[in-house]
Amino acid sequence: MSIRYFTKNDLINANSKAIKLNYNRTIKEDFLNSLPSKTRFPVDITLPLDTLLMRVSVIINEKPETVFLDMDLRDFTKLKIFNERGVNA
């Protein structure tokens, strides 16, 4: 099984782009800044909205609680992948 994930920096950058492009689902910047820096945030659910836009559910803690973010499909495909053999860039 392969799971795409965000680093904190990846999540902040994707969210900034979503805000700039006026996407429907974004995350409050104060909340993002409060997240731990050395954590991987896995993508839980993916919902293609059209041929260029993806809505993702991101797990942000061990409870697990999630947040939704709309992002460019090209950026989504660039996310790092964790699989049973380790992390791929």
CA atoms within 13 Å, Cβ hemisphere of 13:
10
Q: How many CB atoms lie within 10 A of CB 73?
A: 15
Q: How confident is the model at residue 28 (pLDDT cuts 50, 70, 90)?
A: very high
Question: Pick the residue with more confidence: 76 or 2?
Answer: 76
Average pLDDT rounded to a whole number, residues 76-89: 80
Predicted pLDDT at 52:
93
- Separation of alpha carbons 24 and 35, rounded Å: 22
pLDDT (mean) for 36-61: 95
Quickly count helices (H) and strands (E) in the chain.
3, 6
Residues facing 65 on adjacent strands: none
- Give the predicted TM-score (pTM) of the model: 0.90
* pLDDT band at 85; cut points 50, 70, 90: confident
